[in-house]
Amino acid sequence: MPGRLNIKTRNGFTLIETLSAIFIILIGLVSGLSLITQTISFMSLASSKLVASYLTQEGIEIVRNIRDTNWLEGSGNFWDEGLTGCSTGCIADYKHSYDPSDQEDPDLPGYSDQFLNVDSAGFYSYDPGTATKFQRKITINNGFDSEGISILNVSVVVNWQQAGKTNTVSAQEYLYNWR
């Protein structure tokens, strides 16, 4: 057939099609891996924030516990005894009993960038144990509300370093002499 063109049909891919397919697959893989690493980093930060928020709340609860203990010990103790020397920062944990009747040093120990430790049971304290990345500073200021009632302004800040950045969780509460 003289008027008919004889064209061979080719099966398979050309080099450009193959390179294009590999490039698209690589973009998908790199995007997926990037998403996975960001998710892991975010989960680690979220976990640290959760621990820090619990440590912050615990700091306020420790101060409230000392106030309530002062009330329970009788009329000889003032409700804020042992809590008045923390305007520049203190440390406290549940493992130590701070005795406000101690004549030498009735106040909580001063803050000096100490890191909390965790023991084998998972409790955070300043006792020897596994060092953590968390620091907790408790600040207490005495004052009066608008009606002249004595109050304690309790502020707790927990700091830690993660991924080259300083992270902070803080809380504040007013404790009243309601008794």
Which of 42-56, 100-114, 121-135 is least confident? 100-114
The pLDDT assigned to 82 comes to 81
The pLDDT assigned to 162 comes to 92
The pLDDT assigned to 50 comes to 96
pLDDT score of 179 more than 80: no
Q: Which tokens in the block code for residue 47?
A: 């976990």
Q: Which tokens in the block code for residue 31?
A: 């995007």
Look-up: residue for tokens 């409700």? 79
Q: How far, in Å, are 25, 109, 153 from residue 141 at the CA level?
A: 61, 15, 5
Beta carbons within 8 Å of 178's beta carbon, 6+ residues apart: none
- The residue that leads in pLDDT, 94 or 166, is 166
Would you call 154 helix, strand, or coil by DSSP?
A: strand
The confidence band for 71, taking pLDDT boundaries of 50, 70 and 90, is confident
pLDDT in tens, 76-87: 568 888 888 888
Beta carbons within 8 Å of 105's beta carbon, 6+ residues apart: none
End-to-end CA distance of the chain: 114
Quick one: how far is CA 21 from the chain centroid? 45
Distance CA 122, CA 116 (A): 12
CB 87 within 8 A of CB 138: no
Distance CA 151, CA 177 (A): 6
Beta carbons within 8 Å of 173's beta carbon, 6+ residues apart: 60, 154
The pLDDT assigned to 97 comes to 61
Look-up: residue for tokens 């008794």? 179
Q: Which tokens in the block code for residue 93?
A: 């944990």
- Nearest 5°: CA angle at 38, between 33 and 40? 95
CB 163 within 8 A of CB 45: yes
pLDDT in tens, 6-23: 566 666 678 888 899 999
The pLDDT assigned to 6 comes to 59
The confidence band for 2, taking pLDDT boundaries of 50, 70 and 90, is low
